[in-house]
Chains A and B, each alone.
Chain A
Amino acid sequence: MDVLLKVESLGKHYQNKWVLKNISFELFPSDILGIIGPNGAGKSTLLYILLGVVTPSLGRVLYFNQDLSKKRSEILSQVGFASHYLSLPYSLTVWENLKVFACLYKVKKPESKIEELLEIFKLKDKRKSLTRTLSSGEMMKLNLARAFLNEPKILLLDEPTAGLDPEYLKYLRELLKNYTQEKKLSIILTSHQLGELERIVNKVFLLREGETLVYGRIERIFQNFKVRSLEELYFKFFS
Protein backbone atom coordinates (compact mmCIF):
# COMPACT_ATOMS: atom_id res chain seq x y z
CA MET A 1 0.00 0.00 0.00
CA ASP A 2 1.18 3.54 -0.78
CA VAL A 3 2.41 5.61 2.12
CA LEU A 4 0.49 8.89 2.20
CA LEU A 5 2.58 10.54 4.86
CA LYS A 6 6.04 9.66 6.08
CA VAL A 7 7.60 11.52 8.97
CA GLU A 8 11.34 10.92 9.28
CA SER A 9 13.35 11.64 12.45
CA LEU A 10 11.60 14.91 13.10
CA GLY A 11 13.07 17.19 15.73
CA LYS A 12 12.31 20.71 16.86
CA HIS A 13 14.03 22.97 19.33
CA TYR A 14 13.29 26.46 20.50
CA GLN A 15 16.43 28.17 21.80
CA ASN A 16 18.02 25.38 23.85
CA LYS A 17 14.95 23.26 24.53
CA TRP A 18 13.95 20.33 22.38
CA VAL A 19 10.16 20.18 22.09
CA LEU A 20 10.15 17.25 19.65
CA LYS A 21 12.79 14.53 19.44
CA ASN A 22 13.27 11.93 16.74
CA ILE A 23 9.63 11.55 15.72
CA SER A 24 8.95 9.02 12.96
CA PHE A 25 5.72 7.48 11.73
CA GLU A 26 3.82 6.57 8.61
CA LEU A 27 0.25 7.05 7.53
CA PHE A 28 -1.54 4.87 4.98
CA PRO A 29 -4.89 5.37 3.23
CA SER A 30 -7.84 5.05 5.64
CA ASP A 31 -5.59 5.26 8.71
CA ILE A 32 -6.82 7.27 11.66
CA LEU A 33 -3.93 8.16 13.91
CA GLY A 34 -4.62 9.59 17.35
CA ILE A 35 -1.87 11.68 18.90
CA ILE A 36 -2.17 11.78 22.66
CA GLY A 37 -0.15 13.27 25.44
CA PRO A 38 -0.47 15.81 28.24
CA ASN A 39 -0.43 19.56 27.64
CA GLY A 40 2.98 20.68 26.43
CA ALA A 41 3.87 17.23 25.05
CA GLY A 42 4.40 18.70 21.58
CA LYS A 43 1.17 17.60 19.87
CA SER A 44 0.28 20.97 18.37
CA THR A 45 3.89 21.66 17.35
CA LEU A 46 3.93 18.32 15.57
CA LEU A 47 0.70 19.15 13.73
CA TYR A 48 2.00 22.58 12.77
CA ILE A 49 5.21 21.07 11.41
CA LEU A 50 3.10 18.64 9.37
CA LEU A 51 1.23 21.66 8.01
CA GLY A 52 4.37 23.60 7.13
CA VAL A 53 3.76 26.58 9.41
CA VAL A 54 6.56 25.60 11.77
CA THR A 55 9.93 24.69 10.29
CA PRO A 56 11.47 21.55 11.82
CA SER A 57 15.02 21.71 13.18
CA LEU A 58 15.73 18.15 12.07
CA GLY A 59 14.18 15.52 9.85
CA ARG A 60 11.68 15.79 7.05
CA VAL A 61 8.02 15.37 6.20
CA LEU A 62 7.04 13.52 3.03
CA TYR A 63 3.49 13.58 1.67
CA PHE A 64 2.81 11.34 -1.32
CA ASN A 65 6.61 10.80 -1.57
CA GLN A 66 7.16 14.53 -1.92
CA ASP A 67 9.06 16.72 0.51
CA LEU A 68 6.75 19.26 2.21
CA SER A 69 9.52 21.87 2.33
CA LYS A 70 9.91 21.69 -1.45
CA LYS A 71 6.38 21.10 -2.73
CA ARG A 72 4.41 22.98 -0.09
CA SER A 73 1.54 24.36 -2.20
CA GLU A 74 0.95 21.15 -4.19
CA ILE A 75 0.90 19.10 -1.00
CA LEU A 76 -1.25 21.45 1.08
CA SER A 77 -3.87 21.56 -1.66
CA GLN A 78 -4.56 17.91 -0.71
CA VAL A 79 -4.43 18.35 3.06
CA GLY A 80 -7.20 19.64 5.31
CA PHE A 81 -6.88 21.12 8.79
CA ALA A 82 -9.27 22.14 11.53
CA SER A 83 -8.48 23.24 15.04
CA HIS A 84 -10.59 24.00 18.06
CA TYR A 85 -8.07 26.70 18.98
CA LEU A 86 -8.41 28.74 15.79
CA SER A 87 -11.25 30.82 14.47
CA LEU A 88 -12.19 32.37 11.17
CA PRO A 89 -12.70 36.10 10.49
CA TYR A 90 -15.58 37.18 12.73
CA SER A 91 -16.87 39.93 10.47
CA LEU A 92 -17.57 37.59 7.58
CA THR A 93 -20.61 35.36 7.33
CA VAL A 94 -20.29 31.57 7.39
CA TRP A 95 -20.83 31.45 3.63
CA GLU A 96 -18.33 34.25 2.91
CA ASN A 97 -15.63 32.53 4.98
CA LEU A 98 -16.12 29.31 3.06
CA LYS A 99 -16.09 31.19 -0.24
CA VAL A 100 -12.73 32.82 0.60
CA PHE A 101 -11.15 29.48 1.40
CA ALA A 102 -12.74 27.87 -1.65
CA CYS A 103 -10.76 30.43 -3.67
CA LEU A 104 -7.55 29.69 -1.77
CA TYR A 105 -7.96 25.97 -2.50
CA LYS A 106 -9.08 26.62 -6.09
CA VAL A 107 -12.25 24.59 -5.51
CA LYS A 108 -14.16 23.85 -8.71
CA LYS A 109 -17.83 24.90 -8.57
CA PRO A 110 -17.34 26.47 -5.12
CA GLU A 111 -21.00 27.46 -4.58
CA SER A 112 -22.30 23.91 -4.89
CA LYS A 113 -19.42 22.56 -2.77
CA ILE A 114 -20.19 25.09 -0.05
CA GLU A 115 -23.87 24.17 -0.08
CA GLU A 116 -22.95 20.48 0.15
CA LEU A 117 -20.68 21.09 3.14
CA LEU A 118 -23.20 23.34 4.90
CA GLU A 119 -25.64 20.46 4.59
CA ILE A 120 -23.15 17.82 5.77
CA PHE A 121 -21.96 19.81 8.76
CA LYS A 122 -25.46 21.00 9.66
CA LEU A 123 -24.75 24.68 9.18
CA LYS A 124 -27.36 25.45 6.55
CA ASP A 125 -29.40 27.74 8.75
CA LYS A 126 -26.21 29.59 9.73
CA ARG A 127 -25.24 30.38 6.13
CA LYS A 128 -25.86 34.11 6.49
CA SER A 129 -24.85 34.40 10.14
CA LEU A 130 -21.80 36.44 11.01
CA THR A 131 -19.06 34.17 12.30
CA ARG A 132 -18.86 36.19 15.53
CA THR A 133 -22.36 35.02 16.44
CA LEU A 134 -21.44 31.32 16.32
CA SER A 135 -21.03 29.24 19.46
CA SER A 136 -17.72 27.41 19.97
CA GLY A 137 -19.32 24.19 18.73
CA GLU A 138 -20.65 25.91 15.61
CA MET A 139 -17.25 27.47 15.00
CA MET A 140 -15.75 23.98 15.12
CA LYS A 141 -18.35 22.78 12.61
CA LEU A 142 -17.42 25.67 10.33
CA ASN A 143 -13.73 24.85 10.73
CA LEU A 144 -14.49 21.24 9.80
CA ALA A 145 -16.52 22.32 6.76
CA ARG A 146 -13.60 24.52 5.70
CA ALA A 147 -11.21 21.58 6.12
CA PHE A 148 -13.31 19.48 3.72
CA LEU A 149 -13.55 22.15 1.00
CA ASN A 150 -10.64 20.73 -0.99
CA GLU A 151 -11.68 17.08 -0.58
CA PRO A 152 -8.44 16.31 1.26
CA LYS A 153 -6.59 13.02 1.15
CA ILE A 154 -5.21 13.68 4.62
CA LEU A 155 -7.02 15.54 7.35
CA LEU A 156 -5.31 16.97 10.44
CA LEU A 157 -7.57 17.77 13.36
CA ASP A 158 -6.56 19.51 16.58
CA GLU A 159 -9.07 18.79 19.36
CA PRO A 160 -11.97 18.49 16.90
CA THR A 161 -14.43 17.19 19.47
CA ALA A 162 -14.07 20.04 21.96
CA GLY A 163 -17.24 22.09 22.30
CA LEU A 164 -19.44 19.64 20.39
CA ASP A 165 -22.57 18.13 21.94
CA PRO A 166 -22.82 14.31 22.31
CA GLU A 167 -25.31 13.98 19.46
CA TYR A 168 -23.14 15.87 17.01
CA LEU A 169 -20.06 14.06 18.31
CA LYS A 170 -21.63 10.74 17.36
CA TYR A 171 -22.62 12.14 13.97
CA LEU A 172 -19.08 13.44 13.37
CA ARG A 173 -17.53 10.12 14.39
CA GLU A 174 -19.68 8.27 11.86
CA LEU A 175 -18.99 10.89 9.22
CA LEU A 176 -15.22 10.65 9.63
CA LYS A 177 -15.34 6.85 9.62
CA ASN A 178 -17.37 6.88 6.41
CA TYR A 179 -14.90 9.22 4.75
CA THR A 180 -12.00 6.97 5.70
CA GLN A 181 -13.72 3.84 4.44
CA GLU A 182 -15.36 5.16 1.28
CA LYS A 183 -12.94 7.86 0.16
CA LYS A 184 -9.76 6.43 1.70
CA LEU A 185 -9.27 9.62 3.70
CA SER A 186 -6.53 9.44 6.33
CA ILE A 187 -6.82 11.40 9.53
CA ILE A 188 -4.44 12.55 12.23
CA LEU A 189 -6.14 13.91 15.29
CA THR A 190 -5.27 15.09 18.73
CA SER A 191 -7.76 14.97 21.54
CA HIS A 192 -7.88 14.83 25.31
CA GLN A 193 -11.21 12.95 25.11
CA LEU A 194 -9.62 9.51 25.16
CA GLY A 195 -12.88 7.57 25.16
CA GLU A 196 -13.99 9.37 22.02
CA LEU A 197 -10.59 8.90 20.41
CA GLU A 198 -10.58 5.17 21.13
CA ARG A 199 -13.83 4.74 19.19
CA ILE A 200 -12.37 6.08 16.01
CA VAL A 201 -8.58 5.59 15.76
CA ASN A 202 -6.78 2.52 14.45
CA LYS A 203 -3.32 3.82 15.35
CA VAL A 204 -2.02 5.63 18.39
CA PHE A 205 0.98 7.87 18.98
CA LEU A 206 1.77 8.65 22.59
CA LEU A 207 3.98 11.67 23.20
CA ARG A 208 5.75 12.78 26.37
CA GLU A 209 7.93 15.90 26.43
CA GLY A 210 8.40 15.66 22.70
CA GLU A 211 9.45 12.02 22.70
CA THR A 212 7.68 8.97 21.34
CA LEU A 213 6.47 6.72 24.14
CA VAL A 214 4.29 4.39 22.12
CA TYR A 215 3.40 4.15 18.46
CA GLY A 216 1.46 1.49 16.61
CA ARG A 217 -1.88 -0.15 15.94
CA ILE A 218 -4.27 0.25 18.82
CA GLU A 219 -5.09 -3.48 19.26
CA ARG A 220 -1.39 -4.41 19.37
CA ILE A 221 -0.64 -1.64 21.87
CA PHE A 222 -3.47 -2.82 24.11
CA GLN A 223 -2.05 -6.36 23.89
CA ASN A 224 1.57 -5.35 24.52
CA PHE A 225 0.81 -3.12 27.47
CA LYS A 226 -1.96 -5.31 28.81
CA VAL A 227 -4.52 -2.53 28.93
CA ARG A 228 -8.15 -2.41 27.83
CA SER A 229 -8.59 1.26 27.05
CA LEU A 230 -6.67 4.35 25.98
CA GLU A 231 -7.40 5.88 29.34
CA GLU A 232 -5.71 2.96 31.06
CA LEU A 233 -2.76 3.26 28.70
CA TYR A 234 -2.54 6.98 29.32
CA PHE A 235 -2.49 6.62 33.10
CA LYS A 236 0.04 3.83 32.88
CA PHE A 237 2.48 6.46 31.62
CA PHE A 238 1.21 9.66 33.12
CA SER A 239 -0.17 8.79 36.54
Chain B
Amino acid sequence: MRINFSVHRVWGVFLRYLYLFKHSFSRWLDLLYWPTVDLLLWGFITLYLQKGVPSYGGWIFQFLGALIFWNILIRAQQGLAVGFLEDIWARNLVHLFVSPLTPAEYLAGLFIYSLFKAFFATLIMSLLASLVFDFNFWSQGVVLFYLVLALIIFAWSIGLITMALVLYFGQEAEILAWALALLFLPFSAVFYPITVLPPLFQKISQLVPPSYVFENLRLLILQKDFNLSYLFKAYFITFIYFIISLIFFFWCFNLAKKQGKLTKIGE
Protein backbone atom coordinates (compact mmCIF):
# COMPACT_ATOMS: atom_id res chain seq x y z
CA MET B 1 0.00 0.00 0.00
CA ARG B 2 1.34 3.43 -0.96
CA ILE B 3 1.35 5.98 1.87
CA ASN B 4 -0.10 9.27 0.80
CA PHE B 5 2.34 11.58 2.55
CA SER B 6 4.20 14.40 0.83
CA VAL B 7 7.22 16.09 2.36
CA HIS B 8 6.55 19.00 0.03
CA ARG B 9 3.11 19.51 1.51
CA VAL B 10 4.56 19.32 5.04
CA TRP B 11 7.12 21.92 3.99
CA GLY B 12 4.23 24.03 2.66
CA VAL B 13 2.47 23.91 6.01
CA PHE B 14 5.70 24.82 7.82
CA LEU B 15 6.30 27.70 5.40
CA ARG B 16 2.77 28.97 5.97
CA TYR B 17 3.63 29.57 9.63
CA LEU B 18 7.24 30.58 9.05
CA TYR B 19 6.19 33.41 6.72
CA LEU B 20 4.14 34.86 9.57
CA PHE B 21 7.39 35.65 11.39
CA LYS B 22 8.60 37.62 8.38
CA HIS B 23 5.80 40.12 8.77
CA SER B 24 5.05 39.99 12.45
CA PHE B 25 6.96 41.57 15.28
CA SER B 26 4.48 40.11 17.79
CA ARG B 27 5.37 36.56 16.84
CA TRP B 28 9.06 37.22 17.44
CA LEU B 29 8.07 38.70 20.76
CA ASP B 30 6.09 35.58 21.54
CA LEU B 31 9.06 33.39 20.66
CA LEU B 32 11.77 35.28 22.51
CA TYR B 33 10.06 37.28 25.21
CA TRP B 34 8.16 34.74 27.30
CA PRO B 35 11.04 32.27 27.73
CA THR B 36 13.31 35.15 28.79
CA VAL B 37 10.83 36.47 31.35
CA ASP B 38 10.11 32.98 32.68
CA LEU B 39 13.78 32.14 33.04
CA LEU B 40 14.63 35.39 34.82
CA LEU B 41 11.64 35.16 37.15
CA TRP B 42 12.14 31.57 38.22
CA GLY B 43 15.93 31.99 38.34
CA PHE B 44 15.65 34.81 40.86
CA ILE B 45 13.01 32.97 42.88
CA THR B 46 15.41 30.02 43.05
CA LEU B 47 18.23 32.28 44.22
CA TYR B 48 15.96 33.65 46.95
CA LEU B 49 14.89 30.20 48.09
CA GLN B 50 18.51 29.00 48.10
CA LYS B 51 19.18 31.40 50.95
CA GLY B 52 17.09 29.12 53.13
CA VAL B 53 13.54 29.05 54.39
CA PRO B 54 13.13 30.62 57.87
CA SER B 55 11.40 28.50 60.45
CA TYR B 56 8.52 30.88 61.24
CA GLY B 57 5.23 29.94 59.65
CA GLY B 58 4.20 33.21 58.01
CA TRP B 59 7.18 33.21 55.64
CA ILE B 60 5.49 31.24 52.91
CA PHE B 61 2.45 33.56 52.86
CA GLN B 62 4.49 36.29 51.20
CA PHE B 63 4.04 34.39 47.95
CA LEU B 64 0.27 34.30 48.29
CA GLY B 65 0.20 38.02 49.14
CA ALA B 66 2.48 38.81 46.22
CA LEU B 67 0.33 36.76 43.87
CA ILE B 68 -2.81 38.64 44.91
CA PHE B 69 -1.05 41.99 44.45
CA TRP B 70 0.39 41.02 41.07
CA ASN B 71 -3.08 39.98 39.96
CA ILE B 72 -4.46 43.36 40.96
CA LEU B 73 -1.84 44.99 38.72
CA ILE B 74 -2.52 42.64 35.81
CA ARG B 75 -6.33 42.89 36.02
CA ALA B 76 -6.22 46.68 36.23
CA GLN B 77 -3.80 46.92 33.30
CA GLN B 78 -5.72 44.45 31.17
CA GLY B 79 -9.02 46.05 32.06
CA LEU B 80 -7.74 49.09 30.25
CA ALA B 81 -5.77 47.56 27.39
CA VAL B 82 -8.00 44.57 26.62
CA GLY B 83 -11.11 46.74 27.02
CA PHE B 84 -9.68 48.96 24.29
CA LEU B 85 -8.88 45.91 22.15
CA GLU B 86 -12.47 44.68 22.56
CA ASP B 87 -13.60 47.84 20.77
CA ILE B 88 -11.03 47.28 18.04
CA TRP B 89 -11.99 43.62 17.58
CA ALA B 90 -15.67 44.59 17.43
CA ARG B 91 -14.83 47.38 14.95
CA ASN B 92 -16.64 49.69 17.31
CA LEU B 93 -13.96 52.34 17.80
CA VAL B 94 -15.30 54.58 15.03
CA HIS B 95 -18.84 54.34 16.41
CA LEU B 96 -17.57 55.46 19.79
CA PHE B 97 -15.65 58.44 18.49
CA VAL B 98 -18.27 59.70 16.07
CA SER B 99 -20.47 60.06 19.15
CA PRO B 100 -20.00 63.02 21.52
CA LEU B 101 -17.75 60.80 23.66
CA THR B 102 -14.39 62.47 24.32
CA PRO B 103 -11.15 60.47 24.64
CA ALA B 104 -10.93 61.54 28.30
CA GLU B 105 -14.44 60.19 28.97
CA TYR B 106 -13.53 56.98 27.18
CA LEU B 107 -10.46 56.58 29.39
CA ALA B 108 -12.49 57.34 32.53
CA GLY B 109 -14.97 54.59 31.56
CA LEU B 110 -12.12 52.15 31.02
CA PHE B 111 -10.50 53.13 34.35
CA ILE B 112 -13.73 52.27 36.17
CA TYR B 113 -14.03 49.00 34.26
CA SER B 114 -10.45 48.08 35.16
CA LEU B 115 -11.18 48.83 38.86
CA PHE B 116 -14.18 46.53 38.64
CA LYS B 117 -12.04 43.75 37.15
CA ALA B 118 -9.26 44.22 39.71
CA PHE B 119 -11.75 44.30 42.59
CA PHE B 120 -13.54 41.17 41.47
CA ALA B 121 -10.32 39.20 40.93
CA THR B 122 -8.97 40.31 44.31
CA LEU B 123 -12.18 39.39 46.07
CA ILE B 124 -12.10 35.87 44.71
CA MET B 125 -8.38 35.38 45.36
CA SER B 126 -8.45 36.70 48.91
CA LEU B 127 -11.55 34.65 49.73
CA LEU B 128 -9.92 31.50 48.40
CA ALA B 129 -6.66 32.30 50.22
CA SER B 130 -8.61 32.61 53.45
CA LEU B 131 -10.76 29.52 52.99
CA VAL B 132 -8.17 27.15 51.54
CA PHE B 133 -4.89 28.39 53.06
CA ASP B 134 -6.11 30.18 56.16
CA PHE B 135 -4.31 33.33 55.02
CA ASN B 136 -6.29 36.50 55.71
CA PHE B 137 -4.69 38.89 53.26
CA TRP B 138 -6.55 42.05 54.25
CA SER B 139 -5.74 41.62 57.94
CA GLN B 140 -2.36 43.23 57.12
CA GLY B 141 -4.06 46.57 57.71
CA VAL B 142 -5.33 49.66 55.95
CA VAL B 143 -1.88 50.41 54.51
CA LEU B 144 -2.55 47.68 51.97
CA PHE B 145 -5.02 50.04 50.27
CA TYR B 146 -2.30 52.67 49.80
CA LEU B 147 -0.14 50.02 48.17
CA VAL B 148 -3.01 48.82 45.99
CA LEU B 149 -3.75 52.34 44.78
CA ALA B 150 -0.11 52.84 43.72
CA LEU B 151 -0.23 49.51 41.87
CA ILE B 152 -3.44 50.40 40.09
CA ILE B 153 -2.17 53.79 38.90
CA PHE B 154 0.97 52.09 37.63
CA ALA B 155 -1.19 49.44 35.91
CA TRP B 156 -3.15 52.21 34.20
CA SER B 157 0.13 53.73 32.97
CA ILE B 158 1.10 50.44 31.34
CA GLY B 159 -2.43 50.10 29.93
CA LEU B 160 -2.27 53.59 28.45
CA ILE B 161 1.11 52.95 26.85
CA THR B 162 -0.24 49.71 25.37
CA MET B 163 -3.26 51.53 23.92
CA ALA B 164 -1.03 54.27 22.54
CA LEU B 165 1.27 51.72 20.89
CA VAL B 166 -1.73 49.91 19.36
CA LEU B 167 -2.90 53.24 17.94
CA TYR B 168 0.59 53.94 16.61
CA PHE B 169 1.56 50.52 15.23
CA GLY B 170 -1.91 49.10 14.64
CA GLN B 171 -3.39 45.83 15.79
CA GLU B 172 -0.04 44.12 15.37
CA ALA B 173 0.93 45.60 18.74
CA GLU B 174 -2.01 44.04 20.57
CA ILE B 175 0.19 41.34 22.11
CA LEU B 176 1.59 44.09 24.32
CA ALA B 177 -1.71 44.04 26.24
CA TRP B 178 -0.48 40.75 27.74
CA ALA B 179 3.27 41.21 27.45
CA LEU B 180 4.11 44.74 28.54
CA ALA B 181 3.28 44.34 32.24
CA LEU B 182 5.37 41.18 32.38
CA LEU B 183 8.38 43.17 31.20
CA PHE B 184 8.36 44.74 34.65
CA LEU B 185 7.88 41.45 36.51
CA PRO B 186 11.56 40.48 37.01
CA PHE B 187 12.33 44.00 38.28
CA SER B 188 9.27 44.41 40.50
CA ALA B 189 10.50 42.23 43.36
CA VAL B 190 7.19 40.39 43.35
CA PHE B 191 8.31 37.02 44.64
CA TYR B 192 11.82 37.89 45.91
CA PRO B 193 13.51 40.95 47.44
CA ILE B 194 15.50 43.41 45.32
CA THR B 195 18.70 42.26 47.03
CA VAL B 196 18.51 38.96 45.14
CA LEU B 197 18.96 40.79 41.82
CA PRO B 198 22.36 41.51 40.22
CA PRO B 199 23.55 45.15 40.70
CA LEU B 200 22.42 46.33 37.24
CA PHE B 201 18.94 44.85 37.73
CA GLN B 202 18.76 46.44 41.18
CA LYS B 203 19.36 49.86 39.57
CA ILE B 204 16.59 49.19 37.06
CA SER B 205 14.19 48.03 39.78
CA GLN B 206 14.64 51.38 41.54
CA LEU B 207 12.83 52.93 38.58
CA VAL B 208 10.02 50.39 38.72
CA PRO B 209 7.33 51.54 41.20
CA PRO B 210 5.93 48.08 42.01
CA SER B 211 9.33 47.10 43.44
CA TYR B 212 8.69 49.50 46.36
CA VAL B 213 5.15 48.23 46.72
CA PHE B 214 6.18 44.58 46.86
CA GLU B 215 9.11 45.27 49.21
CA ASN B 216 6.64 46.95 51.52
CA LEU B 217 4.20 44.07 51.23
CA ARG B 218 6.98 41.66 52.21
CA LEU B 219 7.88 43.86 55.16
CA LEU B 220 4.25 43.84 56.25
CA ILE B 221 3.79 40.09 55.99
CA LEU B 222 7.17 39.03 57.37
CA GLN B 223 7.96 41.73 59.93
CA LYS B 224 4.65 43.55 60.48
CA ASP B 225 6.55 46.69 59.49
CA PHE B 226 5.96 49.40 56.88
CA ASN B 227 8.44 51.65 55.08
CA LEU B 228 6.88 55.06 54.43
CA SER B 229 9.73 56.25 52.19
CA TYR B 230 9.13 53.22 49.91
CA LEU B 231 5.51 54.29 49.63
CA PHE B 232 6.44 57.89 48.72
CA LYS B 233 8.94 56.69 46.14
CA ALA B 234 6.34 54.33 44.65
CA TYR B 235 3.80 57.15 44.31
CA PHE B 236 6.33 59.69 43.03
CA ILE B 237 7.62 57.46 40.21
CA THR B 238 4.12 56.15 39.46
CA PHE B 239 2.75 59.65 38.94
CA ILE B 240 5.61 60.49 36.58
CA TYR B 241 4.84 57.34 34.56
CA PHE B 242 1.12 58.09 34.64
CA ILE B 243 1.52 61.64 33.35
CA ILE B 244 3.97 60.55 30.64
CA SER B 245 1.66 57.73 29.55
CA LEU B 246 -1.36 60.06 29.43
CA ILE B 247 0.55 62.53 27.26
CA PHE B 248 1.76 59.69 25.05
CA PHE B 249 -1.74 58.27 24.68
CA PHE B 250 -3.27 61.61 23.64
CA TRP B 251 -0.40 62.27 21.26
CA CYS B 252 -0.90 58.87 19.60
CA PHE B 253 -4.67 59.35 19.52
CA ASN B 254 -4.36 62.67 17.68
CA LEU B 255 -1.72 61.23 15.37
CA ALA B 256 -4.05 58.32 14.57
CA LYS B 257 -6.73 60.84 13.61
CA LYS B 258 -4.26 62.72 11.39
CA GLN B 259 -3.03 59.54 9.72
CA GLY B 260 -6.53 58.10 9.35
CA LYS B 261 -5.56 55.07 11.45
CA LEU B 262 -8.45 55.44 13.85
CA THR B 263 -10.89 54.46 11.11
CA LYS B 264 -8.75 51.63 9.75
CA ILE B 265 -7.64 49.94 12.92
CA GLY B 266 -9.22 46.49 13.22
CA GLU B 267 -9.95 46.15 9.52
- Chain A interface (Cβ within 8 Å of chain B)? 12, 14, 44-45, 48, 51-55, 72-74, 76-77, 79, 81, 83, 86-91, 101, 104-106, 146
Contact = CB atoms under 8 A, between A and B. Distances in A.
Given A88-B90, A89-B90, 15 more contacts: A14-B259, A53-B262, A72-B102, A73-B101, A74-B100, A76-B98, A76-B100, A81-B98, A86-B92, A86-B95, A88-B95, A89-B87, A89-B92, A105-B100, A106-B100
B94 A86 contact: yes
Given A53-B257, A54-B257, A87-B91, A76 B263 contact: no
B262 A87 contact: no
Contact of B263 (A54, A72, A88, A146): A54
Contacts of B257: 52-55
A53 B97 contact: yes
B260 A45 contact: yes
Given A89-B86, A89-B90, A48 B260 contact: yes
5 contacts: A48-B260, A52-B98, A53-B97, A89-B92, A90-B90
Nearest to A50: B98
Contacts of B258: 54-55
A88 B263 CA distance: 14
Interface in B101-124: 101-102
Interface in B237-267: 254, 257-260, 262-263
Contacts of B87: 89
Contacts of A44: 263
B26 to A, nearest CB: 23
Contacts of B101: 73, 104
Contacts of A48: 94, 260, 263
